[in-house]
Amino acid sequence: MLENKLEAILSSMRGAGRVRVMLTLDRTNEQVVASSEKTASGENSSSRESKPATVQSGGREEAIVLTEVFPRIRGVIVMAEGAGDIGVKFALISAVSTVLGIDEKNVEVFVMAE
């Protein structure tokens, strides 16, 4: 989805032409779910059982999601028809770096094959 948004906005830059974008991520999305713990104590031992806390939703049981951790973007490749123009190339690098909050050295721009 993010790649498609980037392609749409970058292709609207003057001189960029058609644009394709590829992102590399350091992991997939991760959900942090609430858990419920039950402790059982015996005469000589105790045990702790942990399981996801759930809620009924639409007739089915779903885990309670506390937060979602999104992946960090490691790098971006941009293929653009107009990347042969050095001004366009640097504008694309700057735009990608700004919108994603990553260092410009993690963005590579190449001329798209005909």
Domain 1-29+71-114 is classified in which CATH homologous superfamily? ANL, C-terminal domain (3.30.300.30)
Query: Are the beta carbons of 38 and 53 closer than 8 angstroms?
Result: no
> Please, what are the averages of pLDDT over each run of 10 residues along the chain (114 residues)?
93 96 85 77 73 80 81 93 97 96 96 89
Domain ranges of the chain: 1-29+71-114, 30-69
pTM, 2 dp: 0.67
Report the alpha-carbon distance of residue 2 to residue 24 in Å, rounded.
Answer: 11
What is the structure's pLDDT at 106?
A: 96
What is the structure's pLDDT at 69?
A: 79
DSSP string of the chain? -HHHHHHHHHHTSTTT-SEEEEEEESS--EEEE-EEEEEEE-SS-EEEEEEE-EEEETTEEEE-EEEEEPPPEEEEEEEEGGGGSHHHHHHHHHHHHHHHT--GGGEEEEEPP-
